[in-house]
Amino acid sequence: MAKLSIVELAEAAAARDEPAFVTELNTNFGNIDPLGMRQINFDLMDQVFPGLNNAARHVRPFVIVAWSWRQALKLAKESGAKKIKVPALQDYVDRVEVMFALSQFLQDRKSDLPGGEFLAPLLQEEKITFGGSAWEKRRAKRESSTALSAPVSYGPGLKMLGWIRPHPEYRNVMLPTTEAIAALDALEAVLRPALKHEAFNSLGSVTVTRAELVKWGKLWPLDKPTSAESKVMRDLLLGPNAPLERQMGMTLLRAAAAHSKSTEVHILREIMCGPPARFRPQPDLIAIRDSWRRLQVRQLFRFSLESLFYWVMLTLESHQRSIDELVNTFLKRVPSTAASNARDWLKGQLSSARGPTTMLDRIQQVLAERNEPALPQAIAAGIACCLNEPIAREPFPQQAERLPLSRARAEADARASDSVAEFMRHVIESWVLAQHAYWSVGRGLADARAGGKMLLRLRVILDEGGWSLTPGAAVGNVPRPTPDRLQTAITLAQECGFLEAGR
């Protein structure tokens, strides 16, 4: 049934003179970034590891995609066609991507590549045809999600790191860069035993057997790039043309690994933050260390408030509550509530032995253990840590509606002499409930105007009896911190020889 406009709905309502049954709504609830704070986290990540993301963690997929475009263009030229047929080229690239992914999943079902669940049915097939309606449907479904070239996967990094660039005449066709050529030649050399197969040397529909995929999987393993591939990635990642922030961020990472004699992500994340860790980087790394710490403090602030929102939903699950009941229930679980004002209470939540990453880990642990009584104390400590962090000028303008720490600190300072209950009332009302309502309504209106997804994002409402869950809404999954690209940086640094593997 077609969607009705507001005018049509109004006319239909005016024409009715009695109640009528309506079709039950199939409501889907949105649960991503409920407080609208995530974008600042991403912007701060760009201050340390620009060009990286959390999915593109290995060297070889970059090479696979760039080589596929080169090979597709070569085959098109050899065919004698006077005009580039873009769909045929994209079909070839998609085919090579899927063959690579399948060959790796056949070696290891837990291979660190996107699309394992989506491609799982193909792993049971003895023969796979890359052509026809079934293949076209599969291509369309993976284009923006599990494809290596997808925006949520290796797509952005391929361009930002300099592996490929758009064709000057055909916007959807990619060309490998000059800097990538040595890596593509190295991959082609290891693939030589397979290149005579029509899957690699022809455009259009082809059929590949499971046995062939198993054999090819040993030629191009995911985590074992050739020295030439590693060198190209190292130059693109850290060379003189790379952003200075990324060069310094990777250098800080290596210095922290040398200090700790570890490449474990949780250890390096904490050490790179500075105090209370004993790691003291050389003077030229202090600025990037401060940028990393600023990111982690922001990570903790966002995660603390999203966890507080989750606690509110848990508390409302049984029945409605007034704002005073929410505040009092929260404070009963937090020590030092006898403090005379908000300033003293916040200081009482601090621990000199804990940094922002440790406090974030503590909230995660409490959530994982489903230890609801301990959650308010962990959240209060996280908020206090962020508000008491030494103030530094923000590195770029941050939207007030995304609740930057500068705004939160100014509001906390203005309420420093208030009672603890008054301060927590402001935190829950303004930083959580109002923040959630603002972004839920704004995004819903934007979706409606654009004809986008019909999602109900508002999960908590104010009713006559107080605050309650939106009818039909569930508490949902526990919140999770925003991945900060550190694991990507570690893996790429190891595979390109900048960081010793398994140190």
Nearest CA-CA partner of 157 in 480, 396, 483, 489? 489
**Each residue's pLDDT tens digit, 49-104:** 999 999 999 999 999 999 999 999 999 999 887 788 899 999 999 999 999 999 99
Nearest CA-CA partner of 389 in 345, 432, 349, 355? 355
Radius of gyration of the chain (CA): 27
**Would you list the domain boundaries of the chain?**
59-232, 236-285+485-495, 296-469
Is the dihedral angle over the CA atoms 164, 165, 171, 174 positive or is it negative? negative
d(CA 366, CA 381): 13
Nearest CA-CA partner of 331 in 421, 422, 426? 421
For 105-114, give one letter per residue: b (16+ CB within 10 A) or e: bbeeeebebb
Q: Which segments of the chain have a pLDDT < 50? A: 1
Residue 150 phi/psi, 5° resolution? -65, 155
What pLDDT score does 26 carry? Answer: 64
Identify whether the C-beta of residue 209 lies closer than 8 Å to the C-beta of residue 127.
Answer: yes
d(CA 26, CA 44): 37
Structural tokens at position 266: 């949780």
For 150-181, give one letter per residue: b (16+ CB within 10 A) or e: beebbbbbbebbbbbeebeeeeebbbbbeebe
3-state class of 398 per DSSP? coil
**Total-model pTM:** 0.90
- Diameter of the chain by CA atoms? 83
What pLDDT score does 189 carry? Answer: 98
What pLDDT score does 171 carry? Answer: 87
What pLDDT score does 399 carry? Answer: 93
Q: What is the 3-state secondary structure (H, E, C) of 86-146?
A: HHHHHHHHHHHHHHHHHHHHHHCCCCCCCCHHHHHHHHHCCEEEECCHHHHHHHHHHCCCC
Identify whether the C-beta of residue 236 lies closer than 8 Å to the C-beta of residue 162.
Answer: yes
What pLDDT score does 82 carry? Answer: 76
Structural tokens at position 187: 């991959």
Measured from the Cβ of residue 281, the count of other Cβ atoms closer than 10 Å reads 19
Measured from the Cβ of residue 454, the count of other Cβ atoms closer than 10 Å reads 14
State how far Cα 351 lies from the chain centre: 30
Residue 477 CB contacts under 8 Å (≥ 6 apart), including other chains: 31
d(CA 157, CA 151): 9
- The stretches of 281-434 forming alpha helices (DSSP H) are 286-316, 323-332, 342-348, 356-368, 375-387, 405-414, 420-426
**Each residue's pLDDT tens digit, 272-284:** 999 999 999 999 9
State how far Cα 157 lies from the chain centre: 14
Identify whether the C-beta of residue 473 lies closer than 8 Å to the C-beta of residue 466.
Answer: no
Residue 271 CB contacts under 8 Å (≥ 6 apart), including other chains: 256, 259, 260, 277, 279
Q: Cα dist. 144→37, 59, 150, 160, 391 in Å?
A: 24, 21, 5, 18, 40
Identify whether the C-beta of residue 491 lies closer than 8 Å to the C-beta of residue 251.
Answer: no
